[in-house]
């Protein structure tokens, strides 16, 4: 009997069950909330990611998706490239063996451009299609040296060249792809990243809430918050320097991993933020309900990301935190719209923070903001999954 399903192979996430990361959460939600059973998802997973969930089989199922583990050697920064190539090769082999009808291979991020041409030929031989999520501007990240940045840019160009469709989770990224690579006449579409908008089930009397606030010496409603990777392009230096200039008595709580982080040590030497008792690095929070509660009870959220894409932590902040102060770049404005305040890198953040401490000014400022009801319509997981399923079944 002929298999009538639309087979979709997802390459590039570390895997599901999701433990961390934007792409991992995306794949988790895409499979967990699947409605259209005409689609059969196949998900590449790193063996080490599966091991965290005590999964050791080569093939397993999760959320009705057929998952397969890929062993990745410890070869440094090239691991992600190795993983994507090995996973895509294995997926092509599986689709050929299963005689899938017009399979879709959806690759998340542009890491394997120099190698994708030959693999694209194999996909075409299966009458399949190659979809790419270009992610953000990886080649702009400060952690990479000049040669690595050149590789990322070159790889991005080749991925765009060979893609049958580029699915952009930011309209600014879609615009960039169309303008930067117009010689390839890229086919693009925009589907945003999703977010969970349900409020935390925890209360002020929950044991883990009481324990966290007591241990971190933080008072609910009396702190500015930031959540994200501690990397230079997220503008932690500017946020910390500007906060130190402000006269707010509130704390600045940073939920981020700083273990063995050279940037953290460099910043401490240059800014002496450790002398400001308001600035509190509190480590990571993996309990999602607790993290929601911490977001909901922040006085305001600071967001300094500027390297591409719809950022998951920004969507969560807009959904849970009453006041949001965002770096004024296109990626943040397209998500925050008129429901947030914006700051520039030229030094107005400290004034914005100080103004919010004035009850009279704050009241006037808050009246200028629009509500964030658009989030449920444009960024809910149900909407995102509807758009993906519609795309996969109507191409």
Do residues 181 and 55 both lie within one domain?
yes
Residue 38 has pLDDT above 80, yes or no: yes
What is the structure's pLDDT at 229? 86
Distance CA 101, CA 99 (A): 6
Do residues 187 and 246 both lie within one domain?
no
Please check whether residue 276 lies inside any domain of the structure: yes
Please check whether residue 1 lies inside any domain of the structure: no
**Contact status, residue 314 vs residue 337, Cβ threshold 8 Å:** no
Average pLDDT over residues 78-98: 96
**Contact status, residue 102 vs residue 5, Cβ threshold 8 Å:** no
What is the structure's pLDDT at 233? 86
Distance CA 320, CA 324 (A): 10
Please check whether residue 389 lies inside any domain of the structure: yes
Please check whether residue 256 lies inside any domain of the structure: yes
What is the structure's pLDDT at 31? 97
List, for residues 191-226, the tens digit of each pLDDT value.
Answer: 999 998 899 999 999 999 999 999 999 999 999 999
Pick from 283, 288, 277, 271: which is nearest to 252 by CA? 277
Do residues 174 and 223 both lie within one domain?
no
Pick from 86, 75, 78: which is nearest to 151 by CA? 78
High-pLDDT (> 70) share of the chain, %? 96
What are φ and ψ of residue 326, in 5° steps? -115, 140
Q: With cut-offs at 50, 70 and 90, classify the pLDDT of residue 363.
A: confident
> Which structural domain range is residue 332 located in?
207-378
Do residues 372 and 340 both lie within one domain?
yes
Q: With cut-offs at 50, 70 and 90, classify the pLDDT of residue 357.
A: confident
Q: With cut-offs at 50, 70 and 90, classify the pLDDT of residue 395.
A: low
Distance CA 103, CA 159 (A): 18
What is the structure's pLDDT at 362? 83
Say whether 262 sits in a helix, a strand or coil. helix
Say whether 232 sits in a helix, a strand or coil. helix
Pick from 53, 168, 193: which is nearest to 109 by CA? 168
Structure tokens at 310: 């719809």
Please check whether residue 201 lies inside any domain of the structure: no
Q: What is the CATH number of the domain that holds 252?
A: 3.40.50.2000
**Contact status, residue 226 vs residue 256, Cβ threshold 8 Å:** yes
**Left, alpha or beta for 228 (phi > 0: left; psi -120 to 50: alpha)?**
left
Q: With cut-offs at 50, 70 and 90, classify the pLDDT of residue 2.
A: low
Pairing of strands 59-62, 65-70: antiparallel
High-pLDDT (> 90) share of the chain, %? 79
What are φ and ψ of residue 381, in 5° steps? -60, -35
Do residues 189 and 230 both lie within one domain?
no
Structural domains in the chain (count): 2
Question: Which one has a higher pLDDT value, 18 or 126?
Answer: 126
What is the structure's pLDDT at 58? 96
Do residues 384 and 373 both lie within one domain?
no
Please check whether residue 292 lies inside any domain of the structure: yes
Please check whether residue 199 lies inside any domain of the structure: no
Q: With cut-offs at 50, 70 and 90, classify the pLDDT of residue 135.
A: confident
Do residues 278 and 137 both lie within one domain?
no
Do residues 248 and 371 both lie within one domain?
yes
**Contact status, residue 30 vs residue 67, Cβ threshold 8 Å:** no
Average pLDDT over the chain, rounded to an integer: 93
Structure tokens at 371: 């509500």
Do residues 370 and 353 both lie within one domain?
yes
Rounded to two decimals, the pTM is 0.90
Please check whether residue 202 lies inside any domain of the structure: no
Do residues 91 and 23 both lie within one domain?
yes
What 153-158 contacts at long range (C-beta under 8 Å, 24+ apart), as own/partner pairs, is 154/113, 154/114, 155/110, 155/111, 155/112, 155/113, 155/114, 156/110, 156/113, 157/113, 157/181, 158/113, 158/114, 158/116, 158/117
Query: How many C-beta neighbours within 10 Å does residue 374 have?
Result: 14
What is the structure's pLDDT at 1? 43
List, for residues 225-267, the tens digit of each pLDDT value.
Answer: 999 889 888 999 999 999 999 999 999 999 998 988 889 999 9
Distance CA 379, CA 315 (A): 8
List, for residues 273-323, the tens digit of each pLDDT value.
Answer: 999 999 999 999 989 899 999 999 999 999 999 876 678 889 999 999 999
Do residues 158 and 85 both lie within one domain?
yes
**Contact status, residue 34 vs residue 125, Cβ threshold 8 Å:** no
Do residues 160 and 306 both lie within one domain?
no
Pairing of strands 251-255, 324-327: unpaired
């Amino acid at each position: 009997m002929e298999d009538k399903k639309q087979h979709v192979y997802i390459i590039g996430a570390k895997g599901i069950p999701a433990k961390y990361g934007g792409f991992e959460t995306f794949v988790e939600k895409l499979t967990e909330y699947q409605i259209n059973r005409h689609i059969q998802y196949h998900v590449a997973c790193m063996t080490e990611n599966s091991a965290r969930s005590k999964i050791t089989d080569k093939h397993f199922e999760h959320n009705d998706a057929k998952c397969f583990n890929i062993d990745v050697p410890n070869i440094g920064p090239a691991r992600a490239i190795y993983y994507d190539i090995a996973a895509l090769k294995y997926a092509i082999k599986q689709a050929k063996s299963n005689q899938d009808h017009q399979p879709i291979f959806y690759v998340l991020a542009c890491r394997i451009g120099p190698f994708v041409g030959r693999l694209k030929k194999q996909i075409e031989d299966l009458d399949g299609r190659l979809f790419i999520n270009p992610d953000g501007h990886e080649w702009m990240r400060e952690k990479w040296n000049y040669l690595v940045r050149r590789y990322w840019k070159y790889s991005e160009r080749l991925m765009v060249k060979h893609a049958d469709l580029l699915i952009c989770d930011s309209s600014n990224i879609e615009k960039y792809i169309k303008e930067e690579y117009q010689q390839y006449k890229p086919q693009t579409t925009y589907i945003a990243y999703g977010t969970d908008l349900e409020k935390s089930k925890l209360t002020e009397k929950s044991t883990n809430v009481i324990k966290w606030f007591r241990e971190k010496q933080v008072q609910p409603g009396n702190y500015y918050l930031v959540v994200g990777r501690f990397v230079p392009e997220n503008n932690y230096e500017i946020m910390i320097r500007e906060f130190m200039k402000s006269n707010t008595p509130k704390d600045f709580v940073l939920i981020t991993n700083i273990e063995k982080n050279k940037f953290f040590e460099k910043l401490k030497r240059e800014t002496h933020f450790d002398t400001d008792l308001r600035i509190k690095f509190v480590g990571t929070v993996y309990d999602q309900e607790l993290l929601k509660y911490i977001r909901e009870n922040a006085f305001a959220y600071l967001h300094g990301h500027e390297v591409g894409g719809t950022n998951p932590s920004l969507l969560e902040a807009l959904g849970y935190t009453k006041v949001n102060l965002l770096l004024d770049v296109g990626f943040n404005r397209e998500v925050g719209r008129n429901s947030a305040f914006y700051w520039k890198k030229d030094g107005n953040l400290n004034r914005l923070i100080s103004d919010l401490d004035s009850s009279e000014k704050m009241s006037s400022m808050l009246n200028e903001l629009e509500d964030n009801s658009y989030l449920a319509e444009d960024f809910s997981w149900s909407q995102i999954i509807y758009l993906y399923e519609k795309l996969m079944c109507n191409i």
